[in-house]
Amino acid sequence: MNLPPKNYEILKIALLQIMPAGSLQGNLEKGLDACVRAKKMGADIALFPEMWSCGYSIPEDICELKQLSISENSDFVCEFQNLAKNLKIAIGITFLETSEPLPKNTIMLFDRHGKLALKYSKVHTCDFGEEARLSAGDDFYVADIETGIGIVKIGSMICFDREFPESARILMVKGAEVVLAPNACPMEINRLAALRTRAYENMLAIATCNYPAGHPDCNGHSSVFDGVAWLKDEEGSRDMCVLNAPGGEGIYIGKIDMKMLREYRATEVMGNAYRHPGKYKIITECGIEKPFVRADYRN
């Protein structure tokens, strides 16, 4: 009998914790090179930090901001789509997307054949700061992504989305096994704890890619939590953090045992097993007043 190779169900995600090059063309070239390096390292998926096209730059001048944005059909995006097909690797490319009334913070995930599998724009924009100059996304999405180890159900949330339990919960309800989370902020103990909690309570893996130390307000520490809090044949709990990268620039591979995760999800009690959705109406029915509102750039 022909048995599958030992690592047949190990999903390898390359977190491209790299510094922007200072221009769209520079980011294109450096990003393409990083994907090639990730493929050589055995990655199934390459993930960029938040808004790689512009290095997470949000100009105060709206005209300048719009000029910095690019379309989903731009040469920049298409180059990564073509590379995904040529390298046979899934690529999650992030960019400042042209849209109305204001640009969006977007990720597009191409599968290993270069097919667009998922497009997501950040829902929870940081409207208390410079992201008040961006339009927000409308929903969360999950798609079947063909990778080198087969089909994986993948969703995405971006940076501040992490702070809202509903983001990961919706992705879990929609069937996500793995969540890709581009990021651009300091990954300190509390934010890492939030990611750990989102993975724990939903029984899903979360891979977060941040900018390295030296980029404004960033410190590296890209991470992967695999979502498996304990195993029935092992005493006590286990550390779900399978990768916590250092602060410096680099490409870091996080490995997720999909067989272990799927067996865990099929038998354990977190996630969707004992929810009572009918009792949670207050979450959606009660609005809140924002404590601080910037100028409304959307008008």
Number of Cβ atoms within 10 Å of the Cβ of 2? 3
The mean per-residue pLDDT over the stretch 135-163 comes to: 95
- Of residues 36 and 4, which shows the higher confidence score? 36
Give the pLDDT of residue 12. 98
pLDDT category, 101, cuts 50, 70, 90?
A: very high
Q: Which two tokens stand for residue 58?
A: 């949000």
Could you read off the pLDDT of 251-296 as tens digits, one per residue?
999 999 999 999 999 999 888 888 888 888 888 777 665 554 455 5
How far apart CA 88 and CA 24 sit, in angstroms, is: 24
Could you read off the pLDDT of 40-57 as tens digits, one per residue?
999 999 999 999 999 999
Helix 189-202 with 165-173: angle, nearest 10 deg: 30
How much of the chain is helix, strand and coil, in % rounded to 5?
30, 25, 45
Model's pTM, two decimal places?
Answer: 0.92
Of 130, 136, 78, 140, the residue nearest 102 (C-alpha): 136
Could you read off the pLDDT of 194-228 as tens digits, one per residue?
999 999 999 999 999 999 999 999 999 999 999 99
Contact yes or no for 70/77 (Cβ under 8 A)? yes
The mean per-residue pLDDT over the stretch 131-159 comes to: 95
Give the pLDDT of residue 35. 98
Give the pLDDT of residue 258. 96
Q: Is the pLDDT at 4 greater than 50, yes or no? A: no
Q: In 3-state terms, what secondary structure has residue 72? A: coil
Contact yes or no for 11/203 (Cβ under 8 A)? no
Show Cβ contacts of residue 217 under 8 Å, excluding neighbours closer than 6 positions: 184, 185, 186
Contact yes or no for 220/16 (Cβ under 8 A)? no
How far apart CA 211 and CA 52 sit, in angstroms, is: 9
In one-letter notation, the amino acid at residue 182 is P
DSSP for residue 279:
G
Give the pLDDT of residue 5. 44
Q: In the sheet that 223-225 helps form, which strands lie side by side, from edge to edge?
A: 142-147, 150-156, 178-182, 205-209, 223-225, 241-244
Contact yes or no for 230/237 (Cβ under 8 A)? yes
The mean per-residue pLDDT over the stretch 225-245 comes to: 92
The mean per-residue pLDDT over the stretch 125-135 comes to: 94
Number of Cβ atoms within 10 Å of the Cβ of 194? 16
pLDDT category, 36, cuts 50, 70, 90?
A: very high
Average pLDDT value for the chain: 92
* CA atoms within 13 A of residue 197's CA, in its CB half-sphere: 12
Q: How distant, in Å, are the alpha carbons of 64, 148, 257, 262 from that of 7?
A: 48, 11, 8, 15
Contact yes or no for 116/92 (Cβ under 8 A)? no
Helix 75-87 with 24-40: angle, nearest 10 deg: 10
pLDDT category, 298, cuts 50, 70, 90?
A: low
* Strand 223-225 with 104-110, pairing: unpaired
